[in-house]
């Protein structure tokens, strides 16, 4: 049985009108990646032989997001059963009688199902006594208007009934349909071709194949998952609820790996964050996609980090922003109200206050004073700033790239640097001080005289 092939059909053709968005529903994001990406990464853990994503017409963004998997367009949105049938054209070797293959059908807007749940379904299907057709079900706190799963005395799925069609007895059933199914490929294909759309909606309903299979005496079963896992996302409110669920998972995983979250509820993570151990994350830290954090790092409060690599022992924040392309070497420090972008800070380098470091390479143990800016953009192109090891850049310095400061050099505070500074040199670029004795008092007296004159003119106009 282990040699059986597996195909996965992902239904992603829904319009998502309740999202009120130009963006296709399945491309809305959770923890740094789209719902479709979450679903695909989940099933990819199964190493399927084929993945087919069913998309709606004129959905190039969804097609691009589905790559490298095969895409089939559902030109007429006639229900889930019709969408699955459209996918069969891309599943040669999965539908013909005698094919040793299974088909798993899932939804692109159900992003919280764990890989372990899919694996459980596959293991149950491929067991020696595995059922021909298997559905995913759940027991919600409030069954509401979910479709009900009817079980017979032997625990087989006798059918799935929609709430609107359910009797009072059927509405009392607490086992509900999640819509996801796995079955023998040829059988699934055959049963779906038996569907019709003789209903009020004019649609082909996928769950009806359980009724067909049971009527044939086939073994039909259900695997249960948590209500949280099978949460579908159809609105902004549901998207926010799913984000909360996913964030809590990520927080728990991070803490299990040795990360201290001082206030877990205010810490926001991405699914691809790589953590070391003994990391301390203070409240209100946001970690976006593409971040790697090594051992013994401290992320201070209110910092925003994305696309950055942070080496062991570094300290970031508070109120720091690390943008994509940032690399902080061991022991580096990025302090309050510092922004970095496409910048490398060497071991032990410090940028502690109120600075912008973009398109730059900062040597080991260099010290960047408060208010320093790398002027990396001339309106047309980006240019690089290179600062050598153990260099000292005084406060309020503007480094007009491309420019290089040699190792051990010192740049005086308030300088605007446009030329290279040699190793171990001191560079000061300031305007000459011009002082006029008594000039301040004379200036104030002159300004007061003008003000008094204007006041007198205004009063004269009022009397006139």
Binding residues for UDP-N-acetyl-alpha-D-glucosamine, as ranges, are: 11-14, 25, 74, 79-80, 147, 162, 177, 234, 323, 341, 356, 367
Contacts within 8 Å (CB) and 24+ apart, 64-67: 65/26, 65/27, 65/34, 65/36, 65/37, 66/10, 66/12, 66/36, 66/40
Cα torsion at 268, 274, 276, 282 (round to 10°)?
Answer: -10
Helix segments in 366-428, DSSP class H:
none
φ, ψ of residue 305 to 5 degrees: the values are -135, 130
Pick from 297, 291, 301, 326: which is nearest to 311 by CA? 297
Tokens encoding 365:
């143990």
The residue behind tokens 């640097």 is: 417
Q: Classify strands 101-107 and 176-184 as parallel, antiparallel or unpaired.
A: antiparallel
Which residues sit in the known binding site for acetyl-CoA? 370, 376-377, 395, 413, 430
Look at residue 385 and give its three-state secondary structure: strand
Residues ≥6 apart with Cβ < 8 Å to 250: 31, 269, 270, 271, 273
Cβ neighbours around 174 below 10 Å, total: 14
CA–CA gap between residue 63 and residue 238 (Å, rounded): 24
Taking the CA atoms of the chain, what radius of gyration do you get in angstroms?
32
Number of Cβ within 10 Å of residue 216's Cβ equals 12
Among all chains, which residue has been given the structure tokens 């700033």? 385
Any catalytic annotation for residue 353? yes
Pairwise CA distance, residues 5 & 47, whole Å = 10
CA 277 to chain centre: 23
Query: Residues forming the annotated binding site?
Result: 11-14, 25, 74, 79-80, 109, 147, 162, 177, 234, 323, 341, 356, 367, 370, 376-377, 395, 413, 430
CA distance 58 to 297: 46
Distance CA 19, CA 233 (A): 9
67: left (phi over 0), alpha (psi -120 to 50) or beta: beta
CA dist 342 and 288 (Å) reads 16
Query: Which residue ranges make up the annotated binding site for Mg(2+)?
Result: 109, 234
Return the active site residues.
353
């Amino acid at each position: 049985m282990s040699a059986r092939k597996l195909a996965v059909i992902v239904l992603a053709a829904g319009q998502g009108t309740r999202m009120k968005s130009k963006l296709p529903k399945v491309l809305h994001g959770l923890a740094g990646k789209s719902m479709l990406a979450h679903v695909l990464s989940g099933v990819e853990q199964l190493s399927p032989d084929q993945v087919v994503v069913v998309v709606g017409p004129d959905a190039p963004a969804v097609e691009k997001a589905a790559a490298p998997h095969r895409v089939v367009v559902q030109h007429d949105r006639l229900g889930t059963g019709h969408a699955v049938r459209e996918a069969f054209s891309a599943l040669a070797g999965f539908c013909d009688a005698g094919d040793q293959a299974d088909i798993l059908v899932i939804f692109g807007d159900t992003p919280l199902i764990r890989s372990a749940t899919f694996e459980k379904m596959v293991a149950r299907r491929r067991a020696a006594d595995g059922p021909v057709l298997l559905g995913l079900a759940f027991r919600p706190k409030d069954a509401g208007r979910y479709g009900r799963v009817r079980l017979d005395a032997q625990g087989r799925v006798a059918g799935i009934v929609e709430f609107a069609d359910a009797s009072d007895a059927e509405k009392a059933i607490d086992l509900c349909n999640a819509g996801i199914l796995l079955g023998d490929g040829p059988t699934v294909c055959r049963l779906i071709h038996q569907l019709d759309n003789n209903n009020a909606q004019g649609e082909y309903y996928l769950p009806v194949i359980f009724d067909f299979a049971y009527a044939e005496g086939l073994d039909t079963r259900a695997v249960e998952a948590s209500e949280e896992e099978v949460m579908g996302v159809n609105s902004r409110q549901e998207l926010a609820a799913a984000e909360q669920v996913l964030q809590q998972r990520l927080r728990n995983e991070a803490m299990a790996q040795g990360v201290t979250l001082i206030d877990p509820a205010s810490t926001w993570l991405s699914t691809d964050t790589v953590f070391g151990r003994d990391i301390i994350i203070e409240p209100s830290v946001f970690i976006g996609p593409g971040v790697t954090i090594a051992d013994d790092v401290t992320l201070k409060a209110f910092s925003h980090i994305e696309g950055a690599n942070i080496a062991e022992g570094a300290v970031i924040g508070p109120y720091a922003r690390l943008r994509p392309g940032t690399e902080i070497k061991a022991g580096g420090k990025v302090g309050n109200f510092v922004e970095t972008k496409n910048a490398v800070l060497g071991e032990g380098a410090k940028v502690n206050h109120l600075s912008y470091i973009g398109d730059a390479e900062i040597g080991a143990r260099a010290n960047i004073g408060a208010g320093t800016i790398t002027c990396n953009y001339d309106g047309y192109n980006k240019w690089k700033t290179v600062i050598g090891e153990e260099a000292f850049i005084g406060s309020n310095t503007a480094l007009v790239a491309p420019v290089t400061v040699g190792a051990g050099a010192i740049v005086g505070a308030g300088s605007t640097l446009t030329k290279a500074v040699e190793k171990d040199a001191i560079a000061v670029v300031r305007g000459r001080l011009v002082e006029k004795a008594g000039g301040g008092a004379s200036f104030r007296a002159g300004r007061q005289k003008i003000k008094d004159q204007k006041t007198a003119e205004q009063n004269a106009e009022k009397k006139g």
